[in-house]
Amino acid sequence: MLAEGLWKDRRQRLKPVHQPRHRRDCVGELSRIDGSEHWWFEDRGPQCTLLVFFDDATSRIMHLAFIETESTFDYFVAARTYLQHYGKPVAFYSDKHAFRVNKTGATGGNGMTQFGRALHELNIDIICANTSQAKGRVERANLTLQDRLLKELRLAGISTMEAGNAFLPAFMEDYNRRFPFQRQRSSPAALQGRRS
């Protein structure tokens, strides 16, 4: 059965281990972006997408916005708001959905979307994740938001995207205050290993 490929031994059945991307050292160096489509207003309102800008170094939520669906225009608006408020990051990290076109085609394009080209013009690097595991931190943040934000919206009686977007700044401030990221301190042995 092993020779025919009908059965795999225990080592072959183990799931692959994905190495986590090391956190950046400074706030604003890398911003992770993702859209989370969900029934944010449960049965009180329409299904929509929450755009999340998430700082890699501190795990702070930097920007949230309810939109109908992920589109280039909505990414432009959200990125402009982010840049005006926090300045220019070194890089954005997202899936290929927002930043890359799979094939260049017969027209000889470079594989970049309009949003990707705009970021390139601003000298902001684009890092595209190939798998959802590579975006683990922002995916976990989305799951947390789908729990906490959904309940806060229910308690506030919010059922529209407009009211939700007006509610998000206060929610973000409270969330970041209540759940700060505590960087783990390295042991002296680990620091010695880094220096050598």
Per-residue pLDDT of the chain (196 residues; tens, 9 = 90+): 777 877 777 777 777 666 666 777 788 888 888 888 999 999 998 899 999 998 988 889 999 999 998 888 898 999 999 999 999 999 988 877 656 555 555 555 566 778 888 888 999 988 887 766 666 677 788 888 899 999 999 999 999 999 999 999 999 999 999 887 765 554 445 445 444 4
* Amino acid letter, 42: E
Q: State the pLDDT at residue 79.
A: 92
* Amino acid letter, 154: R
Return the SS3 of 129. Answer: strand
Which residues, including other chains, have CB under 8 Å from residue 30's CB and lie 6 or more apart?
24, 55, 56, 57, 89, 90, 91, 92, 93, 127
Tokens of 37: 């489509």
pTM of the model: 0.73
Comparing CA positions, the residue from 134, 132, 116 lying closest to residue 124 is 116
Q: Which helix (H) or strand (E) holds 93?
A: strand 91-95
Q: State the pLDDT at residue 34.
A: 87
